[in-house]
Amino acid sequence: MARAKTQFVCQNCGTVHSRWAGKCDGCGEWNTIVEDSPTGGIGAGPGRAAKKGKPVSLTSLSGEIEDAPRIETKITELDRVTGGGIVRGSAILVGGDPGIGKSTLLMQAAAALSRGGHSVVYVSGEEAVAQVRLRAQRLGAADCDVMLAAETNVEDILATLALERRPDLVIIDSIQTLWSDMAESAPGTVTQVRTGAQAMVRFAKQTGAAVVLVGHVTKEGQIAGPRVVEHMVDAVLYFEGDRGHHYRILRTVKNRFGPTDEIGVFEMSDKGLREVANPSELFLGERNDKAPGASVFAGMEGTRPVLVEVQALVAPSTLGTPRRAVVGWDSARLSMILAVLEAHCGVRLGQHDVYLNVAGGYRISEPAADMAVASALVSSLAGLALPADCVYFGEISLSGAVRPVAHTAQRLKEAEKLGFGRAVLPQGSAELPARNNGNWHLVEALPDLVASIAGSAAQQVQQEDE
């Protein structure tokens, strides 16, 4: 008999290697390669006794399209992120760090759906039934008609689901605990996770039930990352947040049935997750507007404007290579802004440590934040507080020019709504609201911004002298 061939699979990215190595060539992670047997599994490709295929009918691009039937959870933030509700027959992956609140969110969604008359099955592979019940009690959902099982074997789960009246939603918490008889490797390995996820996705397509898979993401990549599942499912949502804060952000990374740039904002309370309808108020809540080094960025998250505070601290460095530390923003982008400030505005930061932080554990991904970052840096270096009622946005190019960004009107409207009467924005911004009451400062290049900060400081000093 031929010896079973073994292979080595990276548990972070799924790259297959022929021999073990300390570092994966695919993703560059260390200690993620594990021995695995390539046998079997649903979707492992045709075996030796491949059956003869039967032809399928080909069709044209034009024709009737039905709107995807959706199940609304009535949790507005969740419905927004999924694009108006969970699509029947779709598979969704909800990823996030352990302890961030995935099980809590999904239990709340399950409860809300069952209250709306939908049948929901919650399969927990991590916690015993008693633990899940305890959480449900805490969330005030103990009376809901959610069917519960503590099971990890894929075949047993599918057999159980086949007995039930067709469920509308099946929640699998989590894919890392799933194991199938079809795959030989240990639970939690890429092969098992992939096999289990594939079986559940197939179940969703066949029965029209929506399936939500929970996946832990660990930075160490010790457990099979849900990365290998991302391409199989219809939508990928990431639940993120900072342990030190109560805010949790649900972000769409992929969505075959809706937009991918939406976020849902929640706050973790002692009775579960609470929806946050106006995130700006939350992110600006602890603001001290007299302190130098803080600016307010008027950002956009999908269709929603969000105001957040950007904090910078610039201090003389005692180190040969000054420190640059960034939380909530791209550090490469910070280096770029520092270089532009230095080259085009004569702002010398080479001998300074620079710390940048986005308040509230929020993460900005928009280049439009460049202006807010630059003004926070200049404000901190000069020791001058920026005007308390001013917002900043605009993209900075390497030449020092300030480029317009999209959604100007929406950003300004949100700012006005929250009492920010002033704005510094790029010259040439489109869709400027007609009425300009003189509180908008249009800048063409970064030196203008630096000059205006210095100018407003001079005004402040004058006013104080009078």
- Which member of 88, 133, 138, 403 binds ligand TYD (CB under 6 A)? 138
Tokens of residue 102, six digits: 């995935």
# of chain residues touching Mg ion (CB under 5 A):
1
Cβ distance to ligand TYD smaller for residue 70 or 102: 102
Q: Does 135 bind ligand TYD (CB under 6 A)?
A: yes
Q: Is 204 helix (H, G, I), strand (E, B) or coil?
A: helix
Question: Which of these segments, 99-107, 243-251, 330-338, 363-371, binds Mg ion (CB under 5 A)?
Answer: 99-107
Cβ distance to Mg ion smaller for residue 97 or 156: 97
C-beta of residue 116 within 8 angstroms of C-beta of residue 236: no
Report the residue number whose CB is nearest to Mg ion.
103
Residue among 154, 248, 222, 156 at smallest CA distance from 11: 222
Nearest distance from C-beta of residue 116 to ligand TYD, angstroms = 21
Nearest distance from C-beta of residue 175 to Mg ion, angstroms = 12
Q: Does 98 bind ligand TYD (CB under 6 A)?
A: yes
- Which member of 82, 90, 104, 408 binds ligand TYD (CB under 6 A)? 104
Question: Which of these segments, 98-106, 153-161, 187-195, 328-336, binds ligand TYD (CB under 6 A)?
Answer: 98-106
Measured between alpha carbons, how far is 60 from 57 in angstroms, rounded to an integer?
Answer: 10
- Which member of 14, 83, 85, 101 binds ligand TYD (CB under 6 A)? 101
198: which DSSP letter? H
Tokens of residue 195, six digits: 């096999």
Mark 258-297 with x for binding to ligand TYD (rule: CB under 6 A) and - for no binding: ----------x-xxx-------------------------
- 74 interface partner picked from ligand TYD, Mg ion, none, CB below 5 to 8 A per type: none
Nearest distance from C-beta of residue 174 to ligand TYD, angstroms = 8
Cα–Cα distance list, 303 to 81, 109, 151 (Å): 11, 23, 39
Question: Which of these segments, 98-106, 336-344, 347-355, 411-419, binds Mg ion (CB under 5 A)?
Answer: 98-106
**Cross-strand pairs, 149:** 123
- 271 interface partner picked from ligand TYD, Mg ion, none, CB below 5 to 8 A per type: ligand TYD
Cβ distance to ligand TYD smaller for residue 96 or 226: 96
Q: Does 74 bind ligand TYD (CB under 6 A)?
A: no
Q: Does 361 bind ligand TYD (CB under 6 A)?
A: no
- 17 interface partner picked from Mg ion, ligand TYD, none, CB below 5 to 8 A per type: none
293 φψ region: left (φ > 0), alpha (ψ -120 to 50), beta (else): left
Measured between alpha carbons, how far is 281 from 144 in angstroms, rounded to an integer?
Answer: 33
Residue with tokens 């992939």: 194
Nearest distance from C-beta of residue 88 to Mg ion, angstroms = 25
Residue with tokens 């594990």: 34
Measured between alpha carbons, how far is 306 from 40 in angstroms, rounded to an integer?
Answer: 48
Burial class (CB in 10 A: 0-12, 13-18, 19+), 146: buried
Measured between alpha carbons, how far is 102 from 338 in angstroms, rounded to an integer?
Answer: 38
Amino acid at 8: F
Nearest distance from C-beta of residue 271 to ligand TYD, angstroms = 5
Burial 35-58 (b: 16+ CB within 10 A, else e): ebbbeebbeeeeeeeeeeeeeeee
Nearest distance from C-beta of residue 309 to Mg ion, angstroms = 31
Torsion of CA 13, 15, 18, 19, to 10 degrees: -20
Mark 273-302 with x for binding to Mg ion (rule: CB under 5 A) and - for no binding: ------------------------------
Nearest distance from C-beta of residue 82 to ligand TYD, angstroms = 18
Q: Does 103 bind Mg ion (CB under 5 A)?
A: yes
Cis before 174 (ω within 30): yes
Q: Is 323 helix (H, G, I), strand (E, B) or coil?
A: coil
Question: Which of these segments, 95-103, 197-205, 294-302, 367-375, binds Mg ion (CB under 5 A)?
Answer: 95-103
181: which DSSP letter? T
Cα–Cα distance list, 398 to 307, 333, 340, 371, 442 (Å): 25, 11, 6, 13, 19
Cβ distance to Mg ion smaller for residue 215 or 221: 215
Nearest distance from C-beta of residue 151 to ligand TYD, angstroms = 17
Nearest distance from C-beta of residue 268 to ligand TYD, angstroms = 5
Amino acid at 254: K
Residue among 445, 257, 260, 225 at smallest CA distance from 345: 445
Question: Which of these segments, 95-103, 250-258, 296-304, 452-460, binds ligand TYD (CB under 6 A)?
Answer: 95-103
- 324 interface partner picked from ligand TYD, Mg ion, none, CB below 5 to 8 A per type: none
Q: Does 12 bind Mg ion (CB under 5 A)?
A: no
Q: Would you tell me which residues interact with Mg ion (CB under 5 A)?
A: 103
**Which spans of this chain sit near ligand TYD (rule: CB under 6 A)?**
96, 98-104, 135, 138-139, 268, 270-272
